Amino acid sequence: MTLVMERDAPVAASQLPAVPRETPPPLPDPLLRIAGVSLEYRTPGRVVRAAHRIDLDVYEADRFVLLGPSGCGKSTLLKAVAGFIAPVEGEITLGGVPVRKPGPDRIVVFQEFDQLPPWKTVVENVAFPLRTARGLGHAEALERARATIDKVGLTAFAASYPHQLSGGMKQRVAIARALAMQPKVLLMDEPFAALDALTRRKMQEELLTLWNEARMTLLFVTHSIEEALVIGNRVALLSPHPGRVRGEYNCHEYDLSSLGSRSFQAAVQRLHDRLFEPVPEATAR
């Protein structure tokens, strides 16, 4: 606060003209809203609650990570966002519209390497959903497919079949196929979990490069704290059995160059401690 002096004597604050306060700009509406969502699935003899009253907002161009141990419902939640599973309570909306079924505005990249039809070449795998789901003509679909394949560095393998590719290359094709569809949200379910450490780091680098170019909205599932901090600009921690939100953190200051630094390792430890601290009894009910 600045003291205003116009004459020899100070002017009382009550005599000064009122200065209108600037109203801060309103926050944008979230692109994806998960409001009070609970999810269940059946096993022989009982119903299991996978996620319990989840509330999360994902904004356009977010790199939003769902982080938690096995059994916390993070993959189940991703499938619900994709439209494969209906909540037993609460609602998921995308652009204000309730999610009721799968759609081309939400594309999933899974961790399995066999998600590509083996009888189609790389370019055919990328072009096929553009024709069937987006309604593009043959020539336009091939043109967009080739452009996206080039972005993931697989132009030399455009005519290859999945069995001729390594695991990392297959994941590049799956990512290219998803990006070519230009979804509102790219959903990634532990896409690098089955890769060796060196390939995983390379794929993380490539994903961040693609994000810098396209600024797509990303919802990413992982059980690796290090990967969550590197990939995400926001991280939601989910506790197990059933999954509940333990906390939400901004981590935009970290990238792959942060690995091994003291601040990065301290952040890893903080998230680890938060993930595995006991859930208060009142919250667990």
Domain count, the chain: 1
Instruction: Let me know if residue 214 belongs to a domain.
Output: no
- Residue 208: pLDDT band (50, 70, 90) is very high
Please enumerate in sequence order all residues whose Cβ is within 8 A of that of 33, keeping only pairs 6 or more positions apart, or say none.
56, 57, 58, 91, 92, 93
Amino acid, res. 119 = W
Instruction: Let me know if residue 203 belongs to a domain.
Output: no
Instruction: Let me know if residue 248 belongs to a domain.
Output: no
Instruction: Let me know if residue 154 belongs to a domain.
Output: yes
pLDDT at 9 over 90: no
Domain span including residue 142:
116-182
Instruction: Let me know if residue 131 belongs to a domain.
Output: yes
The burial of 175, by beta-carbon neighbours within 10 Å (0-12 exposed, 13-18 middle, 19 or more buried), is given as: buried
Give the H/E segment covering residue 205: helix 197-214
pTM for the full predicted model: 0.85
Residue 17 pLDDT? 60
Instruction: Let me know if residue 159 belongs to a domain.
Output: yes
pLDDT at 68 over 80: yes
Cis before 44 (ω within 30): no
pLDDT at 11 over 80: no
Instruction: Let me know if residue 225 belongs to a domain.
Output: no
Q: Residues of 257-269 as b/e, b for ≥16 C-beta within 10 angstroms?
A: ebeeeeebeebbe
> CA-to-CA distance for 164 and 146, rounded, in angstroms?
18
Instruction: Let me know if residue 211 belongs to a domain.
Output: no
Nearest by Cα to 231 from 216, 213, 244, 218: 218
pLDDT at 252 over 70: yes
Average pLDDT of the chain to the nearest whole number: 87
